[in-house]
């Protein structure tokens, strides 16, 4: 039992983070506003790995441009929870062309993506309603998302991922990437 | 220790959120590329066998048109399928198993383009051989992982 202080410190720091999330996630009052989920599958690599535990705030993404890049949770037709990233905003035209996503014709710069973005047949262009978002998995070749499902309505989005609280080494807040375009 | 176990229990997420794919993703198979190359060769052979006919022989022209269209499609399909495995499945460490990978894939792209442009049966045979080699190396790399 030769515990060095650094290890002890690290261990207690981990417990502290845990404790904080435990309070956030399990307090009955907050339960209605928070949700915790475990990631299954690889479609959000490299940002999220299978087995990651996420803290989700039960609120839809904002209607303005700050919604871009947020990771959200919605349900598919079978009622299964899905975790995907907001790429297209209400009212925008999303196109998949030459392995890239174009927003209103401008190619997006997407450093968070793995693999090439391919369009589903007959779904190369999507016009988003004033209350719908275009959601994509970061690992494009391994994701079923708005390319197949079309835009997702705001009221169908169950929450926005705030942070990953497990595994301990990868505890972090999930910040949306900046929206950048490649020069046309 | 037990405090931690308790905490972990309390913190376990309520449900799973799928970062998923409905199609069998993660399953890569060079078979489609091989079939494509085989089709290209078959079409080249049919074109060669078609011979020459009068310029106003509509049936002859229709056959030729179909063979050419299918040949173009399948040569492109070969490029597409090979590119997906090359880009998404192969990783830098796989070069240890197949050091000439990048040159060989480049060669497939070029030969497949030659097959689209021309009607040389030898190009089609070369494409088929190159794609078969690609498939063999794919199997070797998969086995080595």
Note down the domain range covering A162.
33-178
Which residues in chain B are contacts of A38 at CB distance < 8 A?
A: 12-13, 15-17
Lowest mean pLDDT among A56-60, A63-67, B55-59, B82-86: B55-59
Where are the alpha helices (H) located in chain B, listed in sequence order? 2-11, 31-50, 58-84, 101-117, 121-144
Contact A129, A153 (CB under 8 A): yes
CATH of the domain at A50: 2.10.109.10
Q: Which residue of B has its CA nearest to A115?
A: B88
Of A64, A27, A14, nearest to A166 by C-alpha is A14
DSSP β-ladder status, A34-40 and B15-18: parallel
Q: Would you say residue A84 lies in a domain?
A: yes
DSSP class of residue A170 equals G
Q: Would you say residue A80 lies in a domain?
A: yes
Contact A68, A176 (CB under 8 A): yes
Query: Is B18 near chain A, with CB under 8 Å?
Result: yes
Q: Is the pLDDT confidence value at A26 over 80?
A: no
Mutate to test the interface with A, among B19, B22, B26, B88 (most CBs of A within 10 A): B19
pLDDT tens across A53-79, in order? 999 999 999 999 999 999 999 988 778
The answer, yes or no, to whether ipTM is higher than 0.85 is: no
pLDDT bin (cut points 50, 70, 90) of residue B31 is: confident
Q: Which residue has the tokens 């479609």?
A: A43
Which residues in chain B are contacts of A21 at CB distance < 8 A?
A: 11
Q: How far is B35 from chain A (nearest CA, A)?
A: 21
Number of independent structural domains in chain A: 1
What pLDDT was estimated at residue A2?
Answer: 47
Q: Is the pLDDT confidence value at B99 over 50?
A: yes
Q: Would you say residue A133 lies in a domain?
A: yes
Q: Would you say residue A98 lies in a domain?
A: yes
Mutate to test the interface with A, among B20, B29, B90 (most CBs of A within 10 A): B20
Q: Do A53 and B13 touch (CB under 8 A)?
A: yes
What pLDDT was estimated at residue A168?
Answer: 85
Which residues in chain A are contacts of B12 at CB distance < 8 A?
A: 36, 38, 53
Q: Which of A41, A115, A165 sits opposite B18 (nearest CB)?
A: A41
Query: Is B5 near chain A, with CB under 8 Å?
Result: no
* DSSP three-state, residue A129: coil
> In the numeric block, which tokens belong to residue B118?
């021309």
Q: Would you say residue A119 lies in a domain?
A: yes
**What is this structure's pTM?**
0.58
Size of interface A-B (CB pairs under 8 A): 101
Q: How far is A22 from chain B (nearest CA, A)?
A: 6
A135 vs B28, which has greater pLDDT? A135
Q: What residue spans define the domains of chain B?
A: 29-144
Q: Would you say residue A26 lies in a domain?
A: no
Q: Do A38 and B10 touch (CB under 8 A)?
A: no
pLDDT tens across A75-93, in order? 887 788 999 999 999 999 9
Q: Which residue of B has its CA nearest to A39?
A: B17
Q: Which residue of B has its CA nearest to A165?
A: B11
Look up the CATH architecture of domain B29-144: Up-down Bundle (1.20)
**Average pLDDT over every residue of B117-127:** 96
Q: At what angle do helices B58-84 and B121-144 cross, to 10 degrees?
A: 20
């Amino acid at each position: 039992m030769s515990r060095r202080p650094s290890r002890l410190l690290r261990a207690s720091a981990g417990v502290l983070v845990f404790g904080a999330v435990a309070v956030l996630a399990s307090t009955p009052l907050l339960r209605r506003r928070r949700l915790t989920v475990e990631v299954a599958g690889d479609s959000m690599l490299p940002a999220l790995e299978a087995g990651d535990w996420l803290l989700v705030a039960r609120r839809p993404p904002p209607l303005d441009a700050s919604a871009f890049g947020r990771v959200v949770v919605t349900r598919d037709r079978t009622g299964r929870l899905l975790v995907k990233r907001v790429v297209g905003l209400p009212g925008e035209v999303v196109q998949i062309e030459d392995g890239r996503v174009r927003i209103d014709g401008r190619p997006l710069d997407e450093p968070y993506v793995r693999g090439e973005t391919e369009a589903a047949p007959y779904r190369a262009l999507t016009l988003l309603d004033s209350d719908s978002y275009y959601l994509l998995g970061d690992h494009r070749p391994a994701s079923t998302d708005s390319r197949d499902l079309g835009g997702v309505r705001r009221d169908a989005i169950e929450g926005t991922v705030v942070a990953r609280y497990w595994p301990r080494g990868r505890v972090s807040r999930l910040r949306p990437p900046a929206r950048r375009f490649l020069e046309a | 220790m037990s405090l931690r176990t308790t905490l972990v229990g309390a913190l376990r997420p309520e449900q799973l959120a799928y970062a998923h794919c409905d199609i069998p993703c993660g399953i890569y198979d060079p078979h489609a590329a091989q079939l494509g190359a085989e089709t290209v060769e078959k079409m080249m052979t049919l074109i060669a066998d078609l011979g020459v006919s009068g310029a106003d022989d509509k049936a002859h022209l229709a056959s030729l048109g179909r063979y050419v269209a299918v040949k173009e499609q399948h040569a492109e399909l070969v490029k597409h399928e090979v590119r997906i495995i090359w880009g998404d499945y192969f990783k830098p460490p796989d070069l240890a198993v197949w050091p000439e990978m990048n040159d060989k894939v480049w060669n497939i792209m070029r030969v497949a383009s030659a097959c689209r442009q021309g009607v040389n049966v030898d190009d089609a045979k070369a494409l088929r051989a190159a794609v078969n080699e690609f498939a063999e190396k794919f199997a070797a790399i998969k086995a080595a992982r």
